[in-house]
Amino acid sequence: MSTVIAEGVIRVTNNCKACDHCTTICPTGAINGLLGQKHHIDPRLCVNCGQCLINCPFGAISDASSVDLVRQALNDSNKMVVVQEAPAVRVALGEEFGLAPGTNVKSQMYAALRKLGFDRVYDTEFTADLTIMEEGTELIHRVFNALGVEGFESSGPLPQFTSCCPAWIKYAEDKYPLILPHISSAKSPQQMFGPVAKTYGAEKLQADPADMIVVSVMPCTAKKYECDRQEMIASGFKDVDYVITTRELAEMIKADGIDFLNLADEDADKFIGLSTGAATIFGATGGVMEAALRTAYEILSEETLDKVEFEAVRGLAPVREATVEIPVKALGSRLPVHVCVVTGLKHVDSVIEDVLAGRSKYHFIEVMNCPGGCINGGGQPIRRDTY
Amino acid sequence: MGIFKEKEGFTRRQFLKGSAILAVTVVVTGVFAKFGVDIYKASDDYIAERAQGLYTLDESMAIRRSHKNPEIAQIYQEFLSPGGVNPVSEKAHHLLHTRYGKDIPALIEELEHHDENHAA
């Protein structure tokens, strides 16, 4: 099945100066155009990552916007509008208000969202933790199956790839269908939040899920594509209604004249809003891996880690690998777990080909499309000062 | 005739002209190279700074492991796997897992008829 939704979410505008910079940035070679002519994007190849958009020196590339639809929902008193925000948003949103990159504005972000009129402010970090529970358990089952432990025969093959990045998923579906059984069946945190909010969340709020609107604030343009995927209807409704980017949230805050920097600190709402440090680091490359290792180690060993940091999977190198020895209590032996982290789709092909050829020694592989992870996503503040 | 014959080698004027061109070229190239290096460095800097922002926030959090999140325990016990914390339960599988590529049409079919199947 083709994963192309209409024309994709990334568009080249008439401001294109045909400088060709984007064609060197694009991870899939989706952009083409003759010298001196406006470039165009092939939606079959485009993974909607928006790297071309944030790197265009002329600001000539734009993304489809749902801001008007979000405003409409906020103004409709019959709708219960709830919002989730990805980890990477909170350390970049401040840049739109003059703060240095990396400044944590989580508490002001919650406050600003309430001022904008959202009825409940939750956090994607809650479902990032849920992702670790589901994806981590799936990984443990796959490892047990590979070791021949009884009762796990229906588990998929090793290595397991992460499934959080919608650009990576589309790339794999389009280019490497044979690798799909290796990708975790767990949804991304954004797409876990939608059905959780419209079932469990609706119960807690005593709301009719038909009247609920789930909005995401994401550092990512591919998330706009992901929420429109036709299978994302597990709640019986469209799971996530609209996605806006970090940039679009900043525009909404400015348009409403909210004094962002002087907002009082607020917390997320309860039941599906509490987050942990493990979920926070999802926004950086290697973060999903590190969060998964923290949980897998403690659950398998039944011990508590003195030091939760796994420095070996951190950093900005495109491909990093590490081996973590986990004393597995149920097996009574130490299991060396080989992991790999890939950031930038341009570097994933050789890793996939090793897996398909049976040469890969890894158990778990994290793949994120954008160099550096979601913090450098296509929906993040644009650093024009670097040009 | 000899008075019109040019001297062998460089004149002082030619030498100054040559070295001036060389000096300007070196300076201009250097400035552009510095500009390029700055762009490259700057673009990596903000990525590293945002990442550091997340790691610093992680260190400041009271809970740093996903399985220790009390709301996670609560959603499993009350909703996803009533009575216990059992990931990949039937309900978790229905709501939180998906399929890819050619398996999607069948998944959509199942999801559209999920309520009927469970009522039956």
| B54-80 residue pLDDT tens | 999 999 999 999 999 999 999 999 999
Q: What is the pLDDT of residue A4?
A: 47
Q: Do A275 and B55 touch (CB under 8 A)?
A: no
- Kindly tell me if the per-residue pLDDT of B100 is higher than 60: yes
Active site residue A135: yes
Contacts A371 to B, Cβ<8 Å? 47
What angle in degrees, to the nearest 10, is found between the helix axes of A246-255 and A67-75? 50
pLDDT at position B35, please? 77
Distance CA A91, CA A11 (A): 27
Least CB-CB distance to A295: which of B51, B54, B65? Answer: B65
Q: What is the sign, positive or negative, of the torsion defined by CA atoms of A188, A201, A82, B61?
A: negative
Mean pLDDT per 10-residue section of chain A, whose length is 387 residues? 64 90 92 86 94 92 95 96 97 95 96 97 96 95 91 92 97 96 97 97 95 97 95 95 97 96 94 95 96 94 92 93 93 92 95 95 96 96 71
Which chain B residues contact residue A177 at CB under 8 A?
101-102
Q: Residue B74: phi, psi to the nearest 5?
A: -65, -45
Residue A186 CA to residue A134 CA, distance in Å, equals 6
CB A135 within 8 A of CB A292: yes
A231 noted as active-site residue: yes
Q: Where are the domains of chain B?
A: 11-60, 69-119
Euclidean distance between CA atoms B48 and A248, whole angstroms: 23
Please tell me the number of Cα atoms within 13 Å of A158 on its side-chain side.
22
- B83: phi then psi, degrees, rounded to nearest 5: 95, -15
Instruction: Return the DSSP state at A318.
Output: S
Closest approach of A235 to chain B, Cα-based (Å): 7
> Exposed (0-12), middle (13-18) or buried (19+): which is A363, by Cβ within 10 Å?
buried
Cβ count near A185 (within 10 Å) = 20
Nearest residue in A to B108, CA atom:
A231
Q: Cβ–Cβ of B102/A177 closer than 8 Å?
A: yes
Check residue B5 and give its pLDDT. 64
- H-run or E-run covering A98: none
- Give me the percent of chain B exceeding a pLDDT of 90: 68
Q: Does A187 touch chain B (CB under 8 A)?
A: yes
Question: Which residues in chain A touch residue B53, judged by CB atoms under 8 angstroms apart?
Answer: 91, 101-104, 375
In our burial notation (b when 16+ CB lie closer than 10 A, e otherwise), range B9-26 reads eeeeeeeeeeeeeeeeee
Q: Which domains does chain A have, with CATH numbers?
A: 10-64 (3.30.70.20), 67-126+188-275 (3.40.50.1780), 132-185+278-373 (3.40.950.10)
User: The complex's ipTM?
Assistant: 0.93
- Please report the pLDDT score of residue A383 as a whole number: 84
**Catalytic residue selected from A226, A248, A290, A366:** A226
Regarding beta strands A319-328 and A364-368, do their DSSP bridges make them parallel or antiparallel, or are they unpaired? unpaired
For residue B58, the chain A residues in CB contact (below 8 A) are: 277-278, 280-281
A302 an active-site residue? Answer: no
Rounded distance, CA B105 to CA A261, Å? 47
Chain-centroid distance, C-alpha A95? 20
Collapsed DSSP state (helix, strand, coil) of residue A221: coil
User: Which of the residue ranges A310-324, B6-20, B99-113 would you say has the lowest mean pLDDT?
Assistant: B6-20
- Tokens for B59? 């260190």
Please pick, among A26, A52, A164, A370, the residue that the annotation labels catalytic.
Answer: A164
Quick one: pLDDT at residue B8? 73
CB-count exposure of residue B109 (10 Å: 0-12, 13-18, 19+): exposed
Q: Per the CB < 8 Å rule, is A298 touching B65?
A: yes
Are B64 and A294 inside 8 Å of each other by CB? yes
* A172 lies within 8 A of chain B by CB: yes
A307 torsion bin: left (phi>0), alpha (psi -120 to 50), beta (else): beta
**CA gap A139, A257 in Å, rounded:** 47
CB distance A51 to A368 below 8 Å: no
Let me know how many helices (H) and strands (E) chain A has, helices first: 13, 12
Active-site residue, A309 included: no
pLDDT category, B18, cuts 50, 70, 90?
very high
Q: Which tokens in the block code for residue A381?
A: 């503040």
Clarify whether A164 is annotated catalytic. yes
What's the rounded Cα separation, in Å, for the pair B19 and A207?
Answer: 80
Q: How far is A122 from chain B (nearest CA, A)?
A: 12
Identified catalytic residue from A223, A227, A290, A366: A223
**Would you call A2 an interface residue with chain B, using a CB distance cutoff of 8 Å?**
no
d(CA A250, CA A256): 10
Q: How far B28 CA sits from the closest chain A CA (Å)?
A: 18
Is B69–A371 a contact, with Cβ atoms under 8 angstroms apart? no
